[in-house]
Amino acid sequence: MGGFGHYLLSHLDTMRREFWFLFVGGVANGFLYGMVAVGYTLVYGVLRLINFAHSEIFMSGGFAGYFVMKAMIGPTVPSGFATVYLIVIGIVVGGVVGAAIATLVERVAYRPLRRRHAPALAYLISAIGASYFLFNLAGKEFGRYSISVPQPYVNHTVFTIFGAPVQLYYLVILIAGVIMFVGLDRIVAKTKLGRGIRAVAQDAETASLMGVNIDRTIAMTFIVGGALGGAAGFLFGLGTGVVFTMGFTPALKAFTAAVLGGIGNLRGAMIGGLLLGVVESLSVVFVQAAYIDVVAFGILVAVLLIRPTGILGERLGRAA
């Protein structure tokens, strides 16, 4: 007991000292997980399937952002208005490319199966094939190595919170994340498209009888989810760099976040993402950095065992 007690106390002390520092990083990561998790949850809502190709939508957003930054940033690091402008461009391009790839995946890997009423197993396999094809093709065309993205700003501490520095990079993610989450929440709750998505999620057959174009709604769901995933890919690449396999781990964690919050539930995905980001970041105190990915996996298994419906519960098709 003495040994373990000492172990726990010393780690708790580290935790007390490092808490805010880790918390800030965790929130930033959490926003990224949330943005990707939203894509899983939306597609799950309308198709009742996990979109295994979502990781590659994230990856394509990362690469799109990289090429835009590379083309637009000269030898000097931009500042001021140019920074804001470049970040917005990066997010938009990442989002557009993500949406385009998502549409492509839907058209090629999902729609022919849907026309045929294929069994669900076929969708999963087809989506895995798509994911596999896309990231290996990216590896061939862009090289199988990691590369850092040209920075649109000099990353510095903007302000401190309880002594913990908040970097500009984190602030960018935070602002972009809040805007995207609120926007998405409103789109799903208020617009005609959102009503369509909710209707298809509740009961596709009835929705179709009520005049909802199912094909179009499903395509739009992929576009919306893909746009957020692609934008998240750009933001992730900005901090970590891009590589053709970059989608795998963040996507697995985002899926964990979606399940944690309650799959099919938009707000759940966002909360799940934040929670996972923070928990994962704080777990650094207790486990070695190499095992961080194991923590997320442990959370996934634990949630599936204890409460498979997640924190907020599955709420397919209800307003947000």
Residues within the interface to another protein (CB under 8 A): 48-50, 52, 66-67, 70, 108-109, 112-113, 116-126, 128-134, 136-137, 139-145, 147, 248-249, 252, 255, 259, 288, 290-291, 293-294, 297, 300-301, 304-305, 308-309, 314
The least CB distance from residue 253 to another protein, in Å, is 9
Of 17 and 70, CB closest to another protein: 70
Q: Could you tell me which residues are beta bridge partners of residue 165? A: 160
Chain-centre distance of CA 86, in angstroms?
A: 21
The least CB distance from residue 85 to another protein, in Å, is 23
The least CB distance from residue 129 to another protein, in Å, is 3
Which helix or strand (DSSP H or E) is residue 160 part of?
A: strand 157-161
Of 31 and 244, CB closest to another protein: 244
Look at residue 200 and give its three-state secondary structure: helix
Query: Could you give the CA distance from residue 39 to residue 99 in angstroms, rounded to a whole number?
Result: 11
- The tokens for 8 are 């726990």
Nearest to 238 by CA among 177, 148, 155: 148
- For the chain, what's the residue count? 320
Of 112 and 183, CB closest to another protein: 112
The least CB distance from residue 167 to another protein, in Å, is 25
The least CB distance from residue 199 to another protein, in Å, is 20
Sorted by sequence, the CB contacts under 8 Å of residue 24 that are 6+ apart come out as: 161, 164, 165, 166, 170
Please measure the distance between the N-terminal and C-terminal CA atoms of the chain and give it in whole angstroms: 47
Of 177 and 281, CB closest to another protein: 281
Of 60 and 194, CB closest to another protein: 60
